Structure 1
């Protein structure tokens, strides 16, 4: 999912070092989910439809389908916290343009060329202006790049929400009001806007935006709030997941589902996951140092992993597709997923604070 959520897309929080560590842990956890989600998709392409392996992978894939809302939430948390301390419009928008807009444009073009070079798209598609418009205007240069486009829209919107943030809204109220507003946005699109790709717009993330603004405005209080509310929110998350999963599986199988039901359950599930991940990030902050440092270190290069891992997975699949009995095939996919995390992470860490990193990743 720039100084926003993509995994490393989320800007660094100008708070105490321990809180920043929690943000990095959140990023690290979420980027592991992103790679796991895409690696399970790779495995699904090579599993036998209808088999137990295929069914289990489908469940895992749909369960790990919360990265973009989580990264949008995190971007709003970090940027709201920062903007409440200091907001200089010229500097803010210039940084968002260079750290968000440039990587989006650059990596869209790189992936468009990558898909042609690897034979996943016809070379003639490069000559079609309409295809270029779709790729760049809707984040379709590659399947994961729409997040960067959503992040850019979030950057534009957030300063407009500062009056709300200054009122320090209740996180609980923001969760409820955000869900109602999200459903309103759904009907606005269905009845009026008719957007071709609504999930590639900030309109589809009203709930995580609202929730992120509230958490960002009360960031120092979040850990205590989570301790008090988790006894309710965790069972609520389990219930939302139990309702969401059957509908999500039916949707993937091509069965008829009610769009509002599917979207509403997805919004609820992913919003609660985002809150739970933030709570877990704070918990890990006080956990074993090795685990915390490992996850947080991945978080510091989450944008690099986010941008590079699809090409790594695709290159490995083109080189040697996962084949054989399910245990062997799954083991191969796990190895591919580890490579897709570690190679971009090593590259990202090696390039940190260099001009090349700034040119490639905006930071």
Structure 2
């Protein structure tokens, strides 16, 4: 298989996506605890709801990279190497961190460390801590990847209309879940993100042409993204968006808003990432963002523990100023501490077991 050139600016994309993840988790507490009359509430709410593209953006990026790399050279030997690497660099760290969080929660909440049944059940569902469901979704997509590759290669209509196919399949799944499946924890199911995955596949297969088109009309894409972001956040503002519709229709409107906004977010992140990288390839700031991007998996795995510890020792205060200062600093801590751990451990022999690759 011909080795494809690495797309360096995607590390900036990874940084922006992991920053959005940290925004969501860092602002969840003030959005929950603060009065809606607080002057700071809109700030936290906008950061939280506006960053909801974070996990789908990583799935989009994963599909882009996989199809960019493997589309022209997928065979049995390549598939064997593909799954071996995912087992070593994704599944092994996931199991270790799942056990870490299971142990930590058991100690804090007085649970039993010997309840292996509960641990294994939560391991399979990504429930040993709130953020680990994402890895389960990734594993589901890795399992589906050969099938998707086969469909795209064998069926010319799918290959020529990947985004349309994504819209159709996403709609079919939405209707099936509404009428038949009734899955409650849809965030843990790969089919919830099919549109973003096939959008990423389309971008990866036609990467050069895709990027030329985006950059040529980048101002229009970014303006559309910003407008959709404002509309998406407004629709979630408490009491701001009333629809005199049945519950199912309300659900449809809200989910449609989500899929459109997130799709444009993935495109917008590509444009911003390339623009930032191209204008400062040698600049120290860009190098820092790239370094953070390469450490994004480590940040994802570790930052919830950093936030938990930080809130236990820094945010538990009755002073409004200290609360807001500690909350904002939690973003910094959640980014810096895992990044420093990654820098320190990255060259060690068995680091892949903890931080993947």
TM-score by length of 1: 0.85
Match of 2:270 in 1: 278
Distance 1:168 1:212 in 2: 18
Q: How many residues align?
A: 344
Ranges in structure 1 where 5+ consecutive residues have no aligned partner: 1-13
**1:260 Cα deviation after fit:** 2.2
**1:320 Cα deviation after fit:** 2.2
Match of 1:237 in 2: 225
2:83 corresponds to 1:96: no
**1:150 Cα deviation after fit:** 0.4
3-state SS of 1:65 partner: coil
* Partner deviation per Cα, 1:226-253 (whole Å, 9 max, x = no partner): 0234354334323432332233334999
Structure 1 319/328 Cα, relative in aligned 2: closer, same or farther at 3 Å? closer
3-state SS of 1:140 partner: coil
Structure 1 122/247 Cα, relative in aligned 2: closer, same or farther at 3 Å? farther
Distance 1:311 1:252 in 2: 34
Distance 1:311 1:169 in 2: 46
2:350 corresponds to 1:356: yes
RMSD: 2.9
**1:178 Cα deviation after fit:** 2.1
Match of 2:296 in 1: 302
- Contact 1:244/1:269, CA 8 A, preserved across alignment: yes
Match of 1:4 in 2: none
**1:66 Cα deviation after fit:** 1.3
- 5 Å-filtered alignment, 1:75-86, equals 75-86=62-73
Match of 1:156 in 2: 143
Match of 1:293 in 2: 287
One of 14, 23, 34 as aligned partner of 1:47: 34
Distance 1:312 1:268 in 2: 32
Distance 1:172 1:245 in 2: 33
Moved over 6 A (4+): 167-172
**1:161 Cα deviation after fit:** 2.0
Ranges in structure 2 where 5+ consecutive residues have no aligned partner: none
Greater Rg over alpha carbons, structure: 2
3-state SS of 1:356 partner: coil
- 5 Å-filtered alignment, 1:39-188, equals 39-87=26-74, 88-117=78-107, 119=108, 121-124=109-112, 127=115, 129=117, 131-132=118-119, 134-163=121-150, 165-166=152-153, 174-188=162-176
Structure 1 185/115 Cα, relative in aligned 2: closer, same or farther at 3 Å? same
- Contact 2:315/2:327, CA 8 A, preserved across alignment: no
Distance 2:311 2:4 in 1: 41
Structure 1 306/204 Cα, relative in aligned 2: closer, same or farther at 3 Å? same
Match of 2:209 in 1: 221
Distance 2:239 2:70 in 1: 39
Match of 1:16 in 2: 5
2:260 corresponds to 1:268: yes
**1:165 Cα deviation after fit:** 4.9
Match of 1:28 in 2: 15
Structure 1 25/171 Cα, relative in aligned 2: closer, same or farther at 3 Å? farther
